[in-house]
A and B are shown apart, each in its own frame.
Chain A
Amino acid sequence: MTDARWSGSAPVRRWSWTDPALRSAVIQITLAIALIWMAWSFFANAQENLARQGIASGFGFMENSAGFGITQTLIPYSESMSYGRVFLVGLLNTLLVAFLGIILATIIGFLMGVARLSNNVVIRALASAYVEVTRNLPPLFQILFWYLAVLSTMPNPRQSWAFGIKPFLDSLASGASAIGLTPLGAWLKGMADAAAAPGVFVSNRGLVVPRPIFEPDANIIFGILVASVIVAFFVARWARKRREATGQQFPTFWAGLAIIVLPALAAGLVLGAPVTIENPELRGFNFVGGIRVIPEFVSLLVALSIYTAGFIAEIVRAGILAVSKGQTEAAHSLGLRSGPTLRLIIIPQAMRVIVPPLTSQYLNLTKNSTLGVAVGYPDLVAVFAGTTLNQTGQAIEIIALTMAVYLTISIVTSTLMGWYNKRVALVER
């Protein structure tokens, strides 16, 4: 005879909210139904609304002729080209301002970040003021400020500010003469007169810079450059392997520089300098020659770099502070000088802390480049989600495509970031 408690059939399974399997099923099914219902109603509404407005959906419009001009194009473009071409032009403009902005912001940001840790109180205070002011003013405010208040109030091209060796020497000469060093002033003046005409002009029409003109032979130099970069890469790898195996040092940086620069320089001399510089010249009321950089681009680039640099400065500061002082002391006690200590001990460890937030700042800069639409910089949002959308009314396709571009950039960057993080992560032992 067995105990009734043990022999009975399994208890009837009651439906209970505390049953995790049931609960998860109910929640997920409800969510799925809600999502599907939402997607379906969006779809149905969109179809109904589009039909009422007489808009054909689909990407067919991308092949239609655009019919509007764009003030800055990196690839050949004319009004008769298609909206697809407009998309490409806008995308390239976005990438251009983001790329240059990232470089500038990194340089300014690292300088300011190091300056905030300087022993010198004046420099430290200035860097802190820079960081606080730039981070606490909205980026759009800064863009409009540079565009409306700075660049628009610049003199016209005839009185534009010229930058170059000649005006620099000129101002040095007049400065020297003013403080009584007349012979030096006269000598500098002579040098200035001999120097080439100024190449960079700033006026209310934007920036004008010299244009390099490549002759066919220049391709040979490019080829040599690419080849020497590859060689330098392999030399660096060999040097690192040897160092790890034997401990012998190799001047990788200088050797690499020599490998990259010297062959190209030699080839240039042999081929008779196939690159000439075309200086802009003032003719009548505007400039002829050179590359004209539109003021919208200048203001956007300057504002974005300055704004993002404030954040980068804080990241750099935090990164350097995150490396404990014991690391410096240990390096010194091993006999390393302060240069190698910084290069070999502090920076590699600081980079581990700096790089992840740095990339997210790069992403922010890229996303903030869309603010150029406020001053009329022809980026992707301005020419595609702006003008093209107004002309065609294809809201869904255009905005989805624009968002997809930025999403792709974000996802690619964060994937790379994840890969990097895994590579530099501390190996716990």
Chain B
Amino acid sequence: MSLDTVAYVAPVDLRPQEPAPVSTRGAYGWARAHLFGSIGQVLLTLFGIWVIYVVVPPLLKFFIFDAVWTGTGRDACLPETVGRPVGACWPFIAAKWNQIIYGFYPEAERWRVNTVYFFGAALLLPLMFPKVPYKRLNALAFFGIYPVAAFVLLTGGDLDLRNFVLGWFGLDLGLASAGGLRVGFWLQFLIVTGIAVGIGMLVCPFFGGERRSVAKTILKTFAVIGVVLLVVDIDLGLVPVETRQWGGLLVTLVIAVTGITVSLPFGILLALGRRSELPLVKYASIIFIEFWRGVPLITVLFFATYMLPLFLPGRFTIDGLLRALVGVALFASAYMAEVVRAGLQAIPKGQYEGAMALGLRSGLMMRLVVLPQALKLVIPGIVNNFIGLFKDTTLVLIVSIFDLLGILRAAFTDPSWATPTTLFTGFGFAGIVYFVFCYGMSRYSMALERRLDRNRRH
């Protein structure tokens, strides 16, 4: 029996030797694999190059090579006076710079905005880098002290508070005021503190608490509230600046930062509520979260602008920006709750069980064991939330608050800068600002995610 009668064995010499495969290494191999491996690839590459050719050179030409860099009015940016095609009109941005950064904030008071900007950056930057020490102190300064200080600096403080709690029950001591502080208000504050301590000490035996420690906690809480109230109430001699005069980047940042600082504690509470075993707490949280997540932010802003004032007692008049802030805070809290919930769900059951085995009460278990881990896990999610919020701040221009985009939009109508390229310059500038902020934050969030990933693998 010869070999070729076996059907399933190929005769060795039937196949010609194949040429060596085309190299997949080196510059040529790389280009073959990534640029022109087949006819389809070549066409795609050519198409891509064509797109780049159509998009990039005109943009560079418009924003850099043909741009006008100096000048004092629209004449500097008109092709007729310059004698060549004109690209971006940067003097327009330079002329509107102060409005873009400060809005209509009075010129003499702008140092206050600058101070707020400076301390914001000085506190936020070290918070962003994991290697810098004193995170707790830093976070406390940024989330606790900074907002109060910024509020006083930006508005001028001196709220002239009149009633504390007791006022709701019709008690108005009136009385004189000194240094922006009303004696009546602070008397009420002291009375309420006393009542609260009294109630706490009366009730605590029923809950197995210790009188002294309960009284201490209540006093501490009231001390913090008192200090905050004192700072915003006292007359520091700052000229009051109405929020109507704020604008531009200032408003954009105020809304975004307020949204995120307010939404963090509320979001945590809502997330815990949603996972609670108490049906009423659970369903109240679910309804709250799903309601605000289910409606568009504009309707929330409309709600805060038109509907909220109707729900409050007639004597309250709320400032326009504050209304928008309330809306943004409600909206952001619901989204933050879902981010935090994701973190809570990612904590393995063993951590809960371990904490319980150590005898921790549920409050302590959450505070000491679960939340620190969960919050660390969701930092990227919080940053992403912040990016969304930052983009959403533009919506306030619909309820006539002039944020960065609103100020630019108003500036477009300025006849002294009406040139054919003003619009594109303004959009280009705003686009660059938004892109730099959002892209920077998203990169940061990705870097954090990688870092967390690395840490978890150990």
Interface residues of A (CB under 8 A from B): 15-18, 24, 27-28, 31-32, 35, 42, 45-46, 48-50, 52, 118-123, 125-126, 132-133, 135-141, 144-145, 148-149, 153, 367-368, 370-371, 373-374, 381, 385, 389, 395-396, 399-400, 402-403, 406-407, 410-411
Contact = CB atoms under 8 A, between A and B. Distances in A.
B44 interface: yes
A140 B394 contact: yes
Given A45-B314, A133-B435, A120 B442 contact: no
B310 A49 contact: yes
A140 B405 contact: yes
B91 to A, nearest CB: 19
B291 interface: yes
Contact of B306 (A120, A395, A411): A395
B430 interface: yes
Contacts of B299: 370, 381, 385, 399, 402-403, 406
A361 to B, nearest CB: 13
A118 B405 contact: no
Contact of A407 (B209, B291, B311, B314): B291
Contacts of A119: 33-34, 37, 41
A148 B295 contact: no
A346 B49 CA distance: 30
Interface residues on B, range: 35 or more
Q: B interface, by DSSP: helix, strand, loop or mixed?
A: helix
A135 B434 CA distance: 11
A45 B311 contact: yes
Contact of A374 (B45, B309, B398): B398
Given A385-B302, A396-B307, A402-B299, A120 B430 contact: no
B295 A407 contact: yes
B354 to A, nearest CB: 20
Contact of A17 (B208, B296, B412): B208
Nearest to B51: A126
B37 to A, nearest CB: 7
12 contacts: A28-B279, A28-B280, A45-B310, A121-B34, A138-B390, A138-B392, A138-B405, A148-B409, A371-B298, A385-B298, A399-B299, A403-B303
B228 to A, nearest CB: 23
A389 B299 CA distance: 12
Given A45-B314, A140-B405, A406-B294, A28 B44 contact: no
Nearest to A120: B44
A165 B363 CA distance: 71
Nearest to B439: A136
B119 interface: no
B439 A141 contact: no
B50 to A, nearest CB: 10
Contacts of B84: none
B123 to A, nearest CB: 25
Nearest to A52: B314
